[in-house]
Amino acid sequence: MRVATLNLWNKTGPWQRRMALLGAEARALELDVLCLQEVLELESPMKEGTKLASQLDELGLEGMHRAFGLGHLMDGPWSARGHALRFGNAVLSRWPITTRHVEALPGADASDQQRSLLHAVVARPAGPVDVFVTHLNWKADEGHIREAQVKHIARTVAERAPADGRHPPILCGDFNAEPGSDEIRYLRGLTRLGGEGSVRFVDAWEYAGERPGHTFDPLRNPFARVYPRPGRRVDYVFVRGPLRAGAGVPQRAFLAFDRPGPDGVHVSDHFGVCVDLDDGEAD
């Protein structure tokens, strides 16, 4: 099973060219599941929530099933016309999506950001797969908020995807945290964050990728140069462990959406992560 994640950078920059390039590369990768962050949808509350437009429509990925999860509403001139611009996460799957659940994450009361966790159950022929996608607070000094968010995510995954013998749940997204941060170490079972019980998620890149794997890289991506920081890895595909031989074991992890198009334009200010997971049935 091939899974990828990408922060698609909403409609910043030359977004029409970026979306065309993203769609073309996604088709070439022959993805089973694509998790996206910073997705925009325009709705009209005046017409009982009628969707007017979705950024997902611009990718040209016809035939893929989709689920969108609201993070927050964005301010702008559309609100004066009775519309709502929704900012959030999405899952696209070549198999049907049978369940969609959106969970607000902590942090809105302590920052100017409202983040969320989207849960989609993908009806894979070999058995259903729980896919979670999220986008954590981005500011460097908000590690304490991200810590609260990853603890909430771990509890939600445990509640909504119990270890019942089926394919282990997949957790993807832009975590805005480097591998050595307490947020990521907590997910990997390397720290308990305030005495709570530990959890165990396998970082697919640590398991099957090549170093350094920077997904936000000012040296390679001009869109990332607005932030004068070194290259870093902040986008992840996790699989809940511990893993045994069989379903969910990462076989290969590599950067995706990391090459510019013929006109020199990159897909996003982030690079994506693509992972091939063992598709065998869980013990």
Better-scored residue on pLDDT, 116 or 45: 116
pLDDT, residue 163, reads: 84
Look at 43-47, 95-99, 151-155, 255-259 and tell me which has the smallest mean pLDDT. Answer: 43-47
- Give per-residue pLDDT as tens, 231-245: 999 999 999 987 777
pLDDT, residue 283, reads: 39
Burial 224-242 (b: 16+ CB within 10 A, else e): beeeeeebbbbbbbbbbbe
Q: What is the 3-state secondary structure (H, E, C) of the chain?
A: CEEEEEECCCCCCCHHHHHHHHHHHHHHHCCCEEEEEEEEEEEEHHHCCEEEEEHHHHHCCCCCEEEEEEEEEECCHHHHHCCEEEEEEEEEECCCEEEEEEEECCCCCCCCCCCEEEEEEECCCCCCEEEEEEECCCCCCCHHHHHHHHHHHHHHHHHHCCCCCCCCCEEEEECCCCCCCHHHHHHCCCCCCCCCCCCCEEEHHHHHCCCCCCCECCCCCHHHCCCCCCCECCEEEEEECCCCCCCCCEEEEEEECCCCCCCCCCCCCCCEEEEEECCCCCC
Sequence ranges of the domains in the chain: 2-277
- Give per-residue pLDDT as tens, 7-43: 999 999 999 999 999 999 999 999 999 999 999 998 7
Q: What percent of the chain is predicted at pLDDT more than 90?
A: 78
What CATH code is assigned to 2-277?
3.60.10.10
Mean predicted confidence (pLDDT) in 148-177? 94
Q: What percent of the chain is predicted at pLDDT more than 70?
A: 93
pTM above 0.85, yes or no: yes
- Give per-residue pLDDT as tens, 122-150: 999 999 999 999 999 999 999 999 999 99
pLDDT, residue 166, reads: 85
Mean predicted confidence (pLDDT) in 189-210? 90
Taking the C-alpha atoms of 57, 172, 74 and 92 in order, what is their torsion angle to the nearest 10 degrees?
20
